[in-house]
């Protein structure tokens, strides 16, 4: 068999060349696209770096076992157990997990010398005797398992067709953000989101834990933050907060799915919940009321008060201690009530605190106009109408070595309405239809402003929740656009909408099987 690489948007398979130019039944008119019949390796989402199909496949049956390799590696065992759980749910088969690698079945192999797979990629080989997953790391094996799931039917047992995949991500950072401050979401609800995003190889969950409307994480040294400041949300609902144990539980759950948690404490703005909880944090010593509206930019920590810095040191210190990942996000957006010089002085100190607690700073891109500390990562949330000067400041930081996470609001904000008919959501950055969310190139997105491709650490899709209070609204806004984020972050590109929308449509049975609510965009051939 010859390996044919995926290049320039064309997936080539042995015995069949599948063009990603408009598929059969596809034409330019929205609504007129018919579903194409895609073979399993063509359906994969995100599209793998290279794949070939051919030969006899492996039939999953009552005797299929999952073998976690000869080394007895605990972590690989864990990946095997989780894959078995996932495949049991879809296939109904018993799928016992055993050690070793001799014999038929699914074999998970760690091979530090595996080529072309990087730290997170994998090789998958399927033939009549079984499916072998090989990777340099357990994370790679996990991602291989997610591809394997997609090669089997969404429900019931089936056959993994013969073939081979060699795969590795385009970007190291592939994130989803969830705002649990504007509306409170439980750990169980967020675990479900982790399951859903990790199935598409998204590897970071950024949690927006605090904002004007609520403080959602317990801090031992400052208990009123959660107990009082957590008791509100947009619209006047009861709010809520996570204990540290609940947060640890979520972090561990995500880690098992190779998702890193990046917690955000937004500052110096977006802090009304904190100011309401502790009068001493206010410049005038008076605590404001809790806030349940949706305005932004009206609150600020008291930059001139030393108590403010004791506060952020203790809060960030406690959070760093329960966060195994390397990043702490300190917000820094929309500090409209903090004068520019105060903002810069405050962010200097906040960044120093993060560094002292052993973490790397992430901040919204407004930090570019102040003094980003060495190594700080900037998260760009501008859009097509963002003034050039702002983009130039971001480009200067990128050129000075600051990695960028791209979250353009008019592409990746999952809280933007799809179109005029969308019930929940906002539209300050315009409507974001499914095609618009997917059809762009993160590598060259800010090239005109001078951002080199090498500065792009990855992409992230934020879901702000001013208008989103339920699981079904959350899912309706995220799905299917979050799959576009997954593909942009993982696949080699370039974006190819005619091909992508066919593959997206092919995910519908999986979304349905998991009871995920999603928007049936009219220009996707759902069938
Ligand atoms: C902005 C703002 C958030 C809003 C969001 C709504 C950033 C980084 N700050 O994004 O507070 O919730 O828009 O779309």
Residue 414 CA to ligand 1 centre (angstroms): 11
> Residues 256-268: pLDDT tens digits?
999 999 999 999 9
CA distance 526 to 52: 25
Residue 296 CA to ligand 1 centre (angstroms): 8
Please count the residues of the chain: 527
Q: Is the pLDDT of residue 302 over 60?
A: yes
List active site positions: 334
Report pLDDT for 369.
Answer: 96
291 lines ligand 1 (CB under 6 A): no
Who's near 338: CB < 8 A, 6+ residues apart?
268, 269, 300, 301, 303, 346
Q: Is the pLDDT of residue 25 over 50?
A: no
Look at 20 and 386; give whichever has higher pLDDT. 386
Ligand 1 nearest atom to the CA of residue 379, by list position: 8
Report pLDDT for 4.
Answer: 32
Q: Is the pLDDT of residue 9 over 80?
A: no
Report pLDDT for 22.
Answer: 42
End-to-end CA distance of the chain: 33
CA distance 404 to 222: 32
333 lines ligand 1 (CB under 6 A): yes
Q: Is the pLDDT of residue 28 over 80?
A: no
Report pLDDT for 461.
Answer: 98
The residue assigned the tokens 């993160």 is 442
296 lines ligand 1 (CB under 6 A): yes
38 lines ligand 1 (CB under 6 A): no
Q: Give the predicted TM-score (pTM) of the model.
A: 0.95
The phi-psi region of residue 493 (left if phi > 0; otherwise alpha if psi is between -120 and 50; otherwise beta) is: left
Residue 374 CA to ligand 1 centre (angstroms): 25
In the predicted model, what is the mean pLDDT of residues 400-408? 98
**Mutational pocket test of ligand 1: of 211, 262, 296, 364, the residue with most ligand atoms within 8 Å of the beta carbon:** 296
297 lines ligand 1 (CB under 6 A): no
Q: Is the pLDDT of residue 20 over 70?
A: no
In the predicted model, what is the mean pLDDT of residues 91-95? 97
Report pLDDT for 29.
Answer: 53
Percent of the chain's residues with pLDDT above 70 = 94
Residue 267 CA to ligand 1 centre (angstroms): 13
Q: Is 258 exposed, middle or buried (0-12, 13-18, 19+ CB in 10 A)?
A: buried
Cα separation values, 113 from 117, 118, 141, 144, Å: 10, 10, 14, 16
Which candidate, 307, 318, 245, 237, places its Cα nearest to that of 275?
307
In the predicted model, what is the mean pLDDT of residues 84-101? 97
Who's near 381: CB < 8 A, 6+ residues apart?
333, 364, 365, 407, 408, 409, 413, 462
108 phi/psi in degrees, rounded to 5: -105, 120
In the predicted model, what is the mean pLDDT of residues 160-168? 98
82 lines ligand 1 (CB under 6 A): no
264 lines ligand 1 (CB under 6 A): no
Ligand 1 nearest atom to the CA of residue 464, by list position: 12
Look at 27 and 408; give whichever has higher pLDDT. 408
Percent of the chain's residues with pLDDT above 90 = 91
The residues pairing with 404 across neighbouring beta strands, listed in sequence order, are 378, 456
Ligand 1 nearest atom to the CA of residue 296, by list position: 11
The residues pairing with 7 across neighbouring beta strands, listed in sequence order, are 10
Residue 292 CA to ligand 1 centre (angstroms): 16
Q: Is the pLDDT of residue 14 over 80?
A: no
364 lines ligand 1 (CB under 6 A): yes
Report pLDDT for 404.
Answer: 98
390 lines ligand 1 (CB under 6 A): no
CB 68 within 8 A of CB 108: yes
86 phi/psi in degrees, rounded to 5: -65, -40
Q: Is the pLDDT of residue 19 over 70?
A: no
**Mutational pocket test of ligand 1: of 299, 406, 464, 467, the residue with most ligand atoms within 8 Å of the beta carbon:** 464
CA distance 380 to 403: 10
Ligand 1 nearest atom to the CA of residue 179, by list position: 12
Task: State the DSSP H helix or E strand holding residue 486, giving kind and residue range, or none if neither.
Answer: helix 481-490
Predicted confidence band of residue 145 (pLDDT cuts 50, 70, 90):
very high
The residues pairing with 262 across neighbouring beta strands, listed in sequence order, are 206
Predicted confidence band of residue 524 (pLDDT cuts 50, 70, 90):
very high
CA distance 201 to 178: 17
Ligand 1 nearest atom to the CA of residue 416, by list position: 14
**Chain-centroid distance, C-alpha 108:** 25
CB 281 within 8 A of CB 308: yes
Which runs of E-coded beta strand occur in 391-430?
404-406
CA distance 241 to 424: 24
Report pLDDT for 72.
Answer: 84
Domains defined for the chain, CATH in brackets: 48-167 (3.30.379.10), 173-493 (3.20.20.80)
Cα separation values, 422 from 419, 479, 521, Å: 6, 13, 11
Q: Is the pLDDT of residue 10 over 60?
A: no
């Amino acid at each position: 068999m010859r390996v044919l690489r995926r290049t320039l948007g064309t997936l080539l398979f042995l015995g069949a060349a599948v063009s990603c130019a408009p598929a059969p039944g596809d034409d330019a008119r929205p609504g007129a696209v018919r579903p194409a019949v895609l073979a399993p390796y063509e359906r994969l989402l995100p599209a793998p770096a290279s794949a070939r199909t051919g030969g006899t496949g492996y039939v999953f049956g009552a005797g299929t076992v999952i073998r976690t390799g000869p080394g007895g590696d605990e972590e690989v065992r864990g990946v095997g157990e989780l894959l078995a759980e996932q495949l049991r749910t879809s296939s109904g088969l018993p799928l016992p997990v055993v050690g070793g690698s001799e014999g038929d079945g699914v074999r998970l192999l760690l091979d530090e010398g595996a080529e072309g797979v990087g730290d997170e990629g994998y090789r998958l080989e399927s033939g009549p005797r079984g499916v072998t997953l090989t990777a340099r790391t357990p994370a790679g094996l996990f991602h291989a398992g997610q591809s394997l799931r997609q090669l089997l039917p969404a429900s019931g047992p089936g056959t993994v067709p013969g073939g081979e995949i060699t795969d590795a991500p385009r970007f190291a950072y592939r994130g989803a953000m969830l705002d649990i401050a504007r509306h409170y979401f439980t750990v169980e609800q967020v675990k479900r989101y982790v399951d859903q995003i990790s199935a598409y190889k998204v590897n970071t969950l950024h949690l927006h834990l605090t904002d004007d409307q609520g403080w959602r994480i317990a801090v031992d040294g400052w208990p009123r933050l959660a107990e009082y400041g957590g008791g509100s949300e947009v619209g006047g609902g009861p709010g809520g907060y996570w204990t540290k144990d609940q947060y640890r539980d979520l972090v561990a759950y995500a880690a098992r799915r190779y998702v890193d948690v990046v917690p955000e404490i937004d500052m110096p703005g977006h802090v009304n919940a904190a100011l309401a909880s502790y009068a001493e944090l206010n410049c005038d010593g008076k605590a404001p009321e809790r806030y349940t509206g949706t305005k932004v930019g009206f609150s600020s920590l008291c930059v001139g008060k030393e108590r403010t810095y004791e506060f952020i040191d203790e809060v960030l210190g406690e959070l760093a201690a329960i966060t195994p990942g390397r990043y702490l996000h300190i917000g820094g957006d929309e500090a409209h009530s903090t004068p520019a010089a105060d903002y810069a002085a405050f962010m200097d100190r906040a960044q120093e605190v993060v560094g002292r607690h052993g973490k790397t700073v992430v901040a919204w891109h407004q930090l570019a106009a102040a003094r980003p500390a060495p190594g700080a990562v900037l998260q760009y949330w501008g859009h097509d109408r963002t003034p050039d000067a702002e983009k130039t400041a971001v480009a200067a930081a990128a050129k000075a070595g600051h990695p960028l996470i791209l979250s353009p609001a008019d592409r990746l904000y999952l809280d933007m309405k799809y179109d005029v008919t969308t019930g929940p959501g906002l539209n300050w950055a315009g409507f974001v239809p499914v095609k618009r969310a997917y059809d762009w190139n993160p590598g060259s997105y800010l090239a005109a402003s001078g951002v080199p491709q090498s500065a792009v650490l990855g992409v992230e899709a934020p879901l702000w929740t001013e208008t989103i209070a339920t699981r079904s609204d959350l899912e309706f806004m995220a799905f299917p656009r979050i799959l576009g984020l997954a593909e942009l972050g993982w696949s080699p590109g370039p974006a190819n909408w005619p091909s992508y929308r066919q593959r997206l449509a092919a995910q519908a049975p999986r979304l349905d099987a998991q009871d995920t609510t999603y928007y049936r965009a009219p220009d996707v051939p759902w069938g």
